[in-house]
Amino acid sequence: MALTPRLSGQVAARAHHSRAARLLKRAAPFFAIAEVSGGPLLIGSVIALLLVNSPWGGWYERIWDTDLRLSYGGEVIALPLAEWVNDALMPLFFLIIGTEVKREFSKGSLSTLQTAILPVAGAIGGLIVPIGIYLAFNHGTDTRHGWGVVAAMDTAFSLAIVAMFTTRLPTAVRAVLLAFAAIDDVFGLLVIAVAYTDTLQPAYLLLAAAAYVGILLLLRLGWVASVAYVVLGAAVWIGVLGSGVHPTIAGVAIGLLLPTSSRLSEQRFVDRVQQPVDRLRRAQRVASTADDDATAERGREEAQSHLGYIHEMAAATDEPAERLVRILTPWVSYLVLPLFALSNVRIHFSPELIGDAVQSPLALGIVAGLVLGKPTGFFLATWLAAATGLAKLPKGVTWRMIVGIGGVAGIGFTISLFIAELAFAGGEGTEIAALAILMASLIAGLFGFLTFWSAASSGTGAAESADTQ
């Protein structure tokens, strides 16, 4: 996540004459509109923690546990509000994740074999080592099935920390982190689908598959109208939800389908609209200089017709994947993720809980897996890939920065809380796991921040950033 160049310059200019702007300059990337932001999620988490541990905590939790019923004929769906957030809104976040994965593979940092191997290797190491550490602490216990909690990272928070150094580190740092985070999140979703799905309903899976194939066919036919895609996308979500697989998988699956190239190149756009623009100018002239109303009306109608043509041609130059991310991102950043935090962060701080967590192999496995396992696995796997010649570091990226990427990967939060709820089904293990995830995320975030700050202060990052401008 980073500010756009224009917005970054605007923030820097304000800092020269505004004390408040100087104080807020560092926090600006946490609230950027252009990409998924960690700031609203952080605020939602803090509010949830304060309310849960306040005298109104019981009332607050009962709100999220209240059933919301939808019925049609004899069919009734009744789920707590918190589950509606998880099942109906969170797939939108993972739709963005799936789209980012597609873009990275097709035209981003994963578009060539050599550039793809580095984050892929890191993601594999960042999966195996944390899980191994967790199982080492929980082997032979009732909590061993919670190994998926340490499998994935929090994309929003990790990118927000990197964005704080957006002008002092090479741009390739964000590219590597984004690629790693995207692959890591997909691993986490596969863990949800494979390890935490009890029963499957084949009929609903067939519905999801049929709707998914329908989207593929429309894309192959070049169908433009979005209504059909929305209807089929909803059918995929309903099918996955009814099948027993968590519907976040539907978000990723649909995101992987979105085209990452426009229907019309900019050069072809210029060639195709030149004549309509000339005709539009003539029609506008007729409408403004006509002696009678009928002629003026015909001129206005012709002008509107040419405007419609030009508008459609301009829309065809927009990349569908980029357009969807642009539309969804503010809603996900400022509504979906905060609602997820408000409804899912339910840690009741007490001496008993903290005492149980300190002695619990579950908490120790989570903290060690995220804080130690993620950076160790990521660093060792990427170092091995580079040492064997399979991959190489992007220009300007140092091994200290790689350690920083591995560090912020230990921020589990969103998906880790997600998996903890599925693994422990709201039991006592859920609260211990949530407390451990919170502590691990704070430690990992601080470690990653300090590592990036050290790398940026060394001058290497700044020099490389200047070279690329």
Residue 69 has phi, psi (to 5 degrees) of: -105, 135
Choose between 175 and 125: higher pLDDT.
Answer: 125
Query: Is the domain of 439 the same as that of 300?
Result: no
Whether 110 and 179 have beta carbons less than 8 Å apart is answered as yes
Q: If 0-12 CB within 10 Å is exposed, 13-18 middle and 19+ buried, where does residue 145 land? A: middle
Shared domain for 372 and 272, answered yes or no, is: no
In this structure, are 275 and 286 located in the same domain? yes
| Residue 87 placed within a domain | yes
Residue 364 CA from chain centroid, whole number: 27
Model confidence at 461: pLDDT above 50: no
Query: Which residues, other chains included, contact 448 with Cβ-Cβ below 8 Å and sequence gap of 6+?
Result: 158, 161, 404, 405, 407, 408, 409, 410, 411
**Two tokens, residue 199:** 């029963």
Confidence at 464, pLDDT banded by 50, 70, 90: very low
When the pLDDT of each residue in the chain is averaged and rounded to a whole number, the result is: 83
171 plus 272 within the same structural domain: no
Say what the pLDDT of residue 430 is: 86
Residue scoring higher pLDDT (236 or 416): 236
Closest CA to 374 of 175, 220, 143, 184: 184
Domain-ending residue, one of 316, 341, 358: 316
Higher pLDDT, 368 or 106: 368
The answer to whether residue 288 is domain-embedded is yes
Do residues 147 and 131 make contact, with C-beta atoms less than 8 angstroms apart? yes
Domain for residue 390, yes or no? yes
CB atoms within 10 A of CB 263: 15
State percent of the chain over pLDDT 70: 88
Residue 9 forms part of a structural domain = no
Q: Is the pLDDT of residue 65 over 60?
A: yes
The whole-angstrom separation of Cα 45 and Cα 60 is 14
Per-residue HEC secondary structure of the chain comes to CCCCHHHHHHHHHHHHHCHHHHHHCCCHHHHCCCCCCCHHHHHHHHHHHHHHCCCCHHHHHHHHHCEEEEEECCEEEEEEHHHHHHHHHHHHHHHHHHHHHHHHHHHCCCCCHHHHHHHHHHHHHHHHHHHHHHHHHHCCCCCHHHHHHHCCCCHHHHHHHHHCCCCCCCHHHHHHHHHHHHHHHHHHHHHHHHHCCCCCCHHHHHHHHHHHHHHHHHHHHCCCCHHHHHHHHHHHHHHHHHHCCCCHHHHHHHHCCCCCCCCCCHHHHHHHHHHHHHHHHHHHHHHHHCCCHHHHHHHHHHHHHHHHHHHHHHHHCCCHHHHHHHHHHHHHHHHHHHHHHHHHCCCCCCHHHHHHHHHCHHHHHHHHHHHHHHHHHHHHHHHHHHHCCCCCCCCCCCHHHHHHHHHHCCCCHHHHHHHHHHHHCCCHHHHHHHHHHHHHHHHHHHHHHHHHHHHHHCCHHHHHHHHHC
Residue 6 lies in a domain: no
Task: Please check whether residues 177 and 192 belong to one and the same domain.
Answer: yes
Q: Are residues 144 and 89 in the same domain?
A: yes
Looking at the fold, whether 449 and 355 belong to one and the same domain comes out as yes
Q: Does a structural domain hold residue 289?
A: yes
Please give the average per-residue pLDDT across 233-245, as a whole number: 89
355 and 383 co-located in one domain: yes
Q: How many structural domains does the chain have?
A: 2
Q: Is 7 contained in some domain?
A: no
CATH code assigned at 156: 1.20.1530.10
CA distance 266 to 268: 6
43 and 185 co-located in one domain: yes
Q: What is the mean pLDDT of residues 205-230?
A: 91
Which residue in 190, 173, 187 sits closest to 118, CA to CA?
173
Question: pLDDT tens across 139-158, in order?
Answer: 988 888 889 899 888 877 88
Compute the average pLDDT of residues 199-213.
90
Same domain, 104 and 138: yes
Tokens (6 digits) for 335: 């509504």
Contact 403, 135 (CB under 8 A): no
- Is the confidence at residue 465, as pLDDT, over 50? no
Residue 17 forms part of a structural domain: no
Position 117 pLDDT exceeds 60: yes
The verdict on 152 and 280 lying in the same domain is no
Q: C-alpha angle 22/28/33, rounded to 5°?
A: 150
Q: What is the pLDDT of residue 125?
A: 93
- Residue 272, pLDDT > 70, answer yes
pLDDT tens digits along 436-453: 999 999 999 999 999 999
Pull the structure tokens for residue 423.
Answer: 């693994």
Task: Choose between 462 and 109: higher pLDDT.
Answer: 109
* Structural domain span for residue 92: 33-197+246-261+319-468
190 & 160 share domain: yes
Answer whether residue 8 shows pLDDT above 50. Answer: yes
Evaluated on CA atoms 226, 262, 155, 138, the torsion sign reads positive
